[in-house]
Chain A
């Protein structure tokens, strides 16, 4: 497979009446964007705002983040979801690099997910560095949370595709070519390099807790081997609304950091032989089956090493250590990426579900770390949600209006696919 990412670097964004990029400045056709979102008759209203790095702007509650793109010469959108199914991973994509669609929609009152564009909050989310086109979607009355989630999920995808039209004829700043042949071809090229797989665990549990591959609900599959480029070409989307700090947003699927970094080593130090989804189910039997199956697939494909990334906190911790010990017992070396809960003061035992085999673990941060969010000049979304973010303990709202929140509430803060640079150090 050969995938080309044509990058168009975005240095600023303005609202206007046409989609275009000139000298790195992205203009968004506001009315066109609204119309694209409103094509669903379940959308009652849509508001569009901008949030730029450094501005004292807070976005809350964030539903999803999506990268605006144009798929050249192919169906333009998300195969199997917003367009007809089409094989992804082979072809050319023009990308508005540095821009992001951020959707807002509160399906349930306790929803978290904050992006601060400045100050301490900005340090803890990767999406404070992107030029964000914030799309606030209000559905018609009477929808249950299921329907509401679907409406906002799809609206965000359509919005990203609409804005992505600006990439169709924009000047390309850089082209990145990704190419991996069949197993046999790569093996012949790199007979001495260790074979490495990437196991991506995904929350697949129901309302507000889903992930889709070509539109297929991951709850309904057993672990599947897929080509890393499919994910980099819009085949995977997020249906997750909780787990703000450690869910994988659609943007992070489109730009899976582990896939990028593994590809970087392909042909040099490793032979990167693909990705596997391992859905995180709710029942123990389901977990046993998927963890076993996942380890079996890795073994069958002849992997020497595997990186496993988690999504979420709580019951997925069980899957993570089960997959790890099953792989290690088969003689396959692992490195895990997970976040931890070591308490406010960092003195709690970080991992609860432990296995002696989990010897190589990257910690993507402590979900209970408390950070201070200064008062914002502008809140995009729902001010009440901003209060919900904190509100969980005594003294979390200071007199000057600043909030104390746990990293839990911050989008992408402790990304378990390693999309952020948080870590934990022992003192």
Chain B
């Protein structure tokens, strides 16, 4: 059965204009322009129901309004597949594609997009949309469109896809399936491959954590500003900012420029451990006293005027990442040279 496809583009690829038209209000048309015209001929048994065009800035500044518009078009055109982008490495466009896909996904529509791996929009739609891996610049349009067309074609036909063969970003969803070989046979083959130094693929990859290049060491500690941070929920007595005791939704910073130690004035709101010891002396969790002494002895330049606190237990990974980005930005701007982060 022929599947219906609805497209989404920004003002640039929709032929409205460049940055000067970035606040273009969303519109709907049945006539296709730009990338969809390259996708459709290779997208298998599908027909187009039309195209939404929206300025990237308009989407960012009027997200609710734009999403309502998209939802209305979806309701009217009843697409089976929603195709946004490709956005390559364009941040605002990627973010808009992700937001548009979210609307479609919630309406039960299959979503396809295309992005570069560093596009910030990716993490907002990777788990539910089929996002083709593209290069970082639109110059590679000719390579990106066939990948998206292939995904659309296979998804429309209900065919199996895999991240490797079909070049999309794995959604991270592990589907339990029946395969041809018994588990025992697969295990023996895997061991044989290992014994023969041949390639093998584990069925249960260990959690892959992306790694960051270690930052360069501090060259002269005696001139360095060192900041303190903790996921141990340290706050001034009374918890003025109401930091949550678990699954923190926020981070806080507190001025310690006048303090030589935390004892007496700070305590922990962390719910994951026995707080008695920390509440006697909060330096047991965030060692201001010792670091201040190192400053007085000239071993370090100075202790940064603020410390940063959140609560670690159960804090979602996405939140932890956001906190890190926000805190890191502040520290960078403040010229901090190094950070001690304590965890409980």
The residues of A with any CB-CB pair to B shorter than 8 Å are 123-124, 194, 196, 257-258, 260-262, 264-265, 269-270, 304-307, 309, 333-338, 340, 342, 345-347, 349-351, 354, 356, 358-366, 369, 407, 415-427
Give the contacts of B121-168 with A (CB-CB under 8 A): 127, 161-163
Among residues of B, the one whose C-beta sits closest to the C-beta of A349 is B207
Compute how far the CA of A360 lies from the CA of B202 in the bound complex, rounded to whole angstroms: 5
Interface locus among B106-114, B171-179, B319-327: B171-179
- Within the complex, what minimum Cβ distance (angstroms) separates B138 from chain A? 28
**Cβ of B200 < 8 Å from any Cβ of A?**
yes
Residues of B within 8 A of A362 (CB): 183, 186-187, 190, 203-204
Pick the contact of B184 from A269, A270, A418 — CB < 8 Å? A418
Known contacts A337-B187, A421-B182, A426-B170: A369-B176 contact under CB 8 Å:
yes
Supplied contacts A423-B176, A424-B174, A427-B161, 17 more A-B pairs, CB within 8 Å = A258-B187, A260-B184, A265-B188, A265-B192, A305-B194, A307-B187, A342-B174, A346-B176, A358-B204, A360-B191, A360-B200, A361-B204, A363-B203, A418-B182, A426-B170, A426-B172, A427-B162
Known contacts A270-B192, A335-B194, A362-B190: A261-B174 contact under CB 8 Å:
no
Residues of A within 8 A of B163 (CB): 426-427
Interface residues on chain B, number (Cβ under 8 Å): 35
Work out how many contacts link A and B, with CB atoms closer than 8 A.
154
- Within the complex, what minimum Cβ distance (angstroms) separates A262 from chain B? 6
Residues of B within 8 A of A337 (CB): 183-184, 187
- Within the complex, what minimum Cβ distance (angstroms) separates A407 from chain B? 7
- Within the complex, what minimum Cβ distance (angstroms) separates A25 from chain B? 28
Known contacts A260-B184, A305-B191, A419-B183: A361-B202 contact under CB 8 Å:
yes
- Within the complex, what minimum Cβ distance (angstroms) separates A263 from chain B? 10
Among residues of A, the one whose C-beta sits closest to the C-beta of B171 is A427
Compute how far the CA of A84 lies from the CA of B286 in the bound complex, rounded to whole angstroms: 67
Among residues of B, the one whose C-beta sits closest to the C-beta of A333 is B194
- Within the complex, what minimum Cβ distance (angstroms) separates B208 from chain A? 11
Complex contact B207–A257 (CB within 8 A): no
Complex contact A347–B206 (CB within 8 A): no
Among residues of B, the one whose C-beta sits closest to the C-beta of A407 is B176
Residues of A within 8 A of B172 (CB): 347, 426
Complex contact B206–A346 (CB within 8 A): no
Complex contact A194–B176 (CB within 8 A): no
15 contacts between A and B (CB under 8 A): A262-B188, A265-B188, A335-B194, A336-B187, A346-B175, A361-B203, A361-B204, A363-B203, A369-B176, A418-B182, A418-B185, A418-B187, A421-B183, A422-B176, A423-B183
**Cβ of B258 < 8 Å from any Cβ of A?**
no
Compute how far the CA of A417 lies from the CA of B203 in the bound complex, rounded to whole angstroms: 15
Complex contact B195–A270 (CB within 8 A): yes
**Residue with the greatest number of chain A CB neighbours at <10 A, chosen from B184, B192, B200:** B184
